[in-house]
């Protein structure tokens, strides 16, 4: 008999003052697939306990370190089946490897880590563990993104010629003070890695381009900047992309683009038509067959396809967005975890460890290309 009870989940990071941890917790609860029962929520036991109690976690299952948590939870009959890692980039590798070795599935925030060396260590641990590793590139869970992917795979755009991806924000336009926790670690290369903007949001734009089109990157040429005086990592990137098969692309990401809040857009053009989608208005997508008027496709509307409807929760006209897209990742993760109980490790459309390693190679390729006067480089060279 299939066990459809909520899956026991633990969390590393995401305590008081954290942004992304709260997002993960909302997303995992939307479809009722998970119960958060354990955590190592902060770097100090006292703050970790305070955070756990706020979230209704039993004090006995609030841990002072991820190592302690992995060992203790693996030994419990009612221990966690999966852990969500929502720490800054430099703290992904240790917990991921510890929980994989303890026989516990891992859901990890992106990018995979702050160095390629750590990424490869996580990858080796994941592939030898027999456990799932899921990377939360949450924008891949939006219904119209799933629709676009299916349309392209079905040939509705013909041969893909051009891919334009942009991700613009303005929240780092000025230097930030040390009390801004979110900015502090994202602009510290010791914690973020060598990439700033490219790692934080550029990887989203790149992953989304690859996810929707199915194209594989051949090479890239990048020009990056740190416009804010004294900033040690990039805050603006311009990247030209050459895909295998002949398609070309351009990717711009910036965290100093005044007037932009979270402006992720994707435009894809093929020999038969084009698609345009913007994350800030995610319930509509423009589709233009060549020689015909532009059409508006709406999430949950008459033009929605099966791929979009499969991850749609509310009728058309009732907006869905960031949290629901994130929830789709968790909902599909739950289905994969249940399938894994029978030995099936297929993660379907979910981003995996391989996507994580590719994302880190992309960061390095962008940084290294720019340092060498925008030289064309490949990911495999990194």
The parts of the chain modelled with pLDDT lower than 70 are 1
What pLDDT, on the 0 to 100 scale, is given for residue 155?
98
Say if CB 296 and CB 284 are below 8 A apart: yes
What pLDDT, on the 0 to 100 scale, is given for residue 72?
98
* SS3 per residue for 309-372: HCCCCCCCCCCCCHHHHHHHHHHHHHHHHHHHCCCCCCCCCCCEHHHHHHHHHHHHHHHHHHHC
Identify the H or E element spanning 212: helix 203-213
Q: What is the DSSP letter of 6?
A: P
DSSP characters over 23-62: HHHHHHHHTT-EEEEEEE-SSSHHHHHHHHHHTT--GGGB
CA distance 53 to 16: 11
CA distance 208 to 199: 14
CA distance 171 to 307: 34
Say if CB 248 and CB 242 are below 8 A apart: yes
Say if CB 282 and CB 298 are below 8 A apart: no
pTM above 0.85, yes or no: yes
Say if CB 126 and CB 106 are below 8 A apart: yes
Q: Across-strand partners of 286?
A: 276, 296
What pLDDT, on the 0 to 100 scale, is given for residue 176?
85
Structure tokens at 194: 């060598």
Integer angstrom CA distances of residue 83 from 34, 92, 109, 112 = 11, 12, 11, 15
Q: Across-strand partners of 49?
A: none
Return the number of other C-beta atoms located less than 10 Å from residue 347's C-beta.
20
For residue range 241-290, list pLDDT tens digits in order: 999 999 999 999 999 999 999 999 999 999 999 999 999 999 999 999 99
CA angle, 338 then 75 then 52, to 5°: 80
What pLDDT, on the 0 to 100 scale, is given for residue 172?
97
What pLDDT, on the 0 to 100 scale, is given for residue 1?
58
Q: 20: Cβ–Cβ under 8 A, 6 or more apart, which residues?
A: 14, 86, 109
Nearest to 27 by CA among 280, 346, 320, 281: 320
CA angle, 142 then 147 then 150, to 5°: 130
CA distance 205 to 89: 18
Nearest to 144 by CA among 2, 38, 290, 295: 295
Q: Delineate the domains of the chain, giving CATH numbers in brackets.
A: 7-131 (3.40.50.720), 142-315+360-371 (3.30.360.10)
What pLDDT, on the 0 to 100 scale, is given for residue 181?
86
DSSP characters over 102-165: TT-EEEEPSSS-SSHHHHHHHHHHHHHHTS-EEE--GGGGSHHHHHHHHHHHTTTT-SEEEEEE
Identify the H or E element spanning 178: none
What pLDDT, on the 0 to 100 scale, is given for residue 53?
97
């Amino acid at each position: 008999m299939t066990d459809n009870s909520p899956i026991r989940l633990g969390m590393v990071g995401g305590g008081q003052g954290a942004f992304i941890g709260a997002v993960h917790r909302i997303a995992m609860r939307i479809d009722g697939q998970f119960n958060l029962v354990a955590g190592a929520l902060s770097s100090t036991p006292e703050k970790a306990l305070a955070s756990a109690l706020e979230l209704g976690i039993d004090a006995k299952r609030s841990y002072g370190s991820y190592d302690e948590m992995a060992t203790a939870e693996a030994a419990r009959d009612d221990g966690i089946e999966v852990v969500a890692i929502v720490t800054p980039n430099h703290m992904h590798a240790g917990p991921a490897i510890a929980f994989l070795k303890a026989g516990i599935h891992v859901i990890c925030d992106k990018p995979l880590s702050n160095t390629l060396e750590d990424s490869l260590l996580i990858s080796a641990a994941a592939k030898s563990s027999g456990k799932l590793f899921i990377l939360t590139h949450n924008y891949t869970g939006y219904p119209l993104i799933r629709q676009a992917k299916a349309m392209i795979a079905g040939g509705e755009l013909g041969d893909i010629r051009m891919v334009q991806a942009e991700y613009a924000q303005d929240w780092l336009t000025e230097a930030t003070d040390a009390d801004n926790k979110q900015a502090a670690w994202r602009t510290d290369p010791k914690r973020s890695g060598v990439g700033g903007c490219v790692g934080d949001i550029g990887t989203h734009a790149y992953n989304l381009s690859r996810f929707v089109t199915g194209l594989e990157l051949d090479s890239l040429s990048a020009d990056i900047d740190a416009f804010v005086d004294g900033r040690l990592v990039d805050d603006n990137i311009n990247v030209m992309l050459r895909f295998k098969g002949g398609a070309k692309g351009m990717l711009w990401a910036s965290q100093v683009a005044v007037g932009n809040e979270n402006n992720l857009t994707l435009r894809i053009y093929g020999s038969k038509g084009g698609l345009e989608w913007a994350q800030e208005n995610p319930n509509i997508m423009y589709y233009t067959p060549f020689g015909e008027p532009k059409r508006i496709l709406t999430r949950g509307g008459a033009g929605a396809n099966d791929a979009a409807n499969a991850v749609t929760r509310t009728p058309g006209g009732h907006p869905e967005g960031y949290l629901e897209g994130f929830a789709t990742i968790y909902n599909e993760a739950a289905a994969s975890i249940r399938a894994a109980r029978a030995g099936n490790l297929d993660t379907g459309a979910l981003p995996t460890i391989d996507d994580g390693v590719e994302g880190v190679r992309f960061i390095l390729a962008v940084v290294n290309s720019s340092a060498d006067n925008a030289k064309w480089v490949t990911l495999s060279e990194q």
